[in-house]
Structure 1
Amino acid sequence: MASYTDIITVRSKNRMEVIDITDLVEDSVRKSGISSGICLVHLPHATAALIANENESGLIRDIIRKIKEEFVREGWEHDRIDDNAHAHIASSFIGASRAFPVVSGRLMRGTWQNLMLVELDGPRERKVVITVVGD
């Protein structure tokens, strides 16, 4: 069994935004040379999240709107330290990792399923850790 890890950097431009990283992850899977296995994509950050969904502008706006509705920017105890408690809480509920099967050297995902980094406290530079394990 082989393993391959790639760490890429993504820069956000806004306080909250969704960035499609599908092509970057697909490139890492190709570079791994692994034909069959698992690809883990992880964000080592407490104020960013990772989703798998359709990259359609209306849906992206809906996702951002829902995050803002659910995780309002005021009234949190952590805000005494930083003004980003909403980002920490949203990341905790959405999650910072996703795993996908690798089949025939490709990331196995649905037709409308892209991997997207959700920036919750930008603008920032974010690391994306991609680990592929298999044969």
Structure 2
Amino acid sequence: MHSEVIQVHTGRREVVLDLTARCAEFAADKGDGLLHVFVPHATAGVAIIETGAGSDDDLLAALRDLLPADSRWRHRHGTPGHGRDHVMPALVPPYATVPVLAGRLALGTWQSVCLVDLNVDNPDREVRLSFLAG
């Protein structure tokens, strides 16, 4: 298995960050297999979603509705409502797996691999890309 860690900067805002180009670059010369994308963080997730047409903003709005940044959370360090950031990976898991055929991601026409990060306290993230040859 081939694996590497990439660094991404999300800033201090909620974000759906498109990682598709970096994933495609990583898989480009590897033939057939599976690309596994994993974020080793307790407050981030990976989603396969359409971007650029509003779906990424809709996802953030839905997560705000489901997980309001208020004082209801028992986990209380960090900015107000930070406890919800620790619940979010139960809804948007910290991993995704994508088939790779002849070195190309076998995504649907409108699908993108995205980092989902609600944690405004941590602007820098690691993403592990792993390739399992088929």
Fold-level similarity (TM above 0.5): yes
Secondary structure of 2:45's aligned partner: strand
Secondary structure of 1:24's aligned partner: helix
Matched-pair contact (CA < 8 Å) for 1:48–1:121: yes
1:131 matched to 2:127? The reply is: no
Q: How far, CA to CA, are the matches of 1:60 and 1:99 in structure 2?
A: 19
Gap regions ≥5 residues in structure 2: none
Deviations 1:8-62 (A, max 9, x none): 00001233111111001111112xx321111100000111111101112422221
Q: Which of residues 54, 57, 71 in structure 2 aligns to 1:58?
A: 54
- Give the count of matched residue pairs: 130
Q: Which of residues 64, 68, 77 in structure 2 aligns to 1:72?
A: 68
Q: How far, CA to CA, are the matches of 2:31 and 2:56 in structure 1?
A: 32
Q: Which residue of 2 aligns with 1:40?
A: 36
1:5 matched to 2:12? The reply is: no
Normalization by structure 1: what TM-score?
0.90
Q: How far, CA to CA, are the matches of 1:14 and 1:58 in structure 2?
A: 20
Q: Give matches, 1:10-29, under 5 Å.
A: 10-29=8-27
Deviations 1:88-124 (A, max 9, x none): 1012221010001111111111000001111110251
Alignment RMSD (CA, Å): 1.4
Secondary structure of 2:54's aligned partner: helix
Q: Percent identity?
A: 25
Q: Which residue of 2 aligns with 1:100?
A: 98
Gap regions ≥5 residues in structure 1: none
Q: Which residue of 2 aligns with 1:118?
A: 116
Indicate the structure with greater helix content: 1
* Stretch deviating more after TM superposition (109-118 or 55-64): 55-64
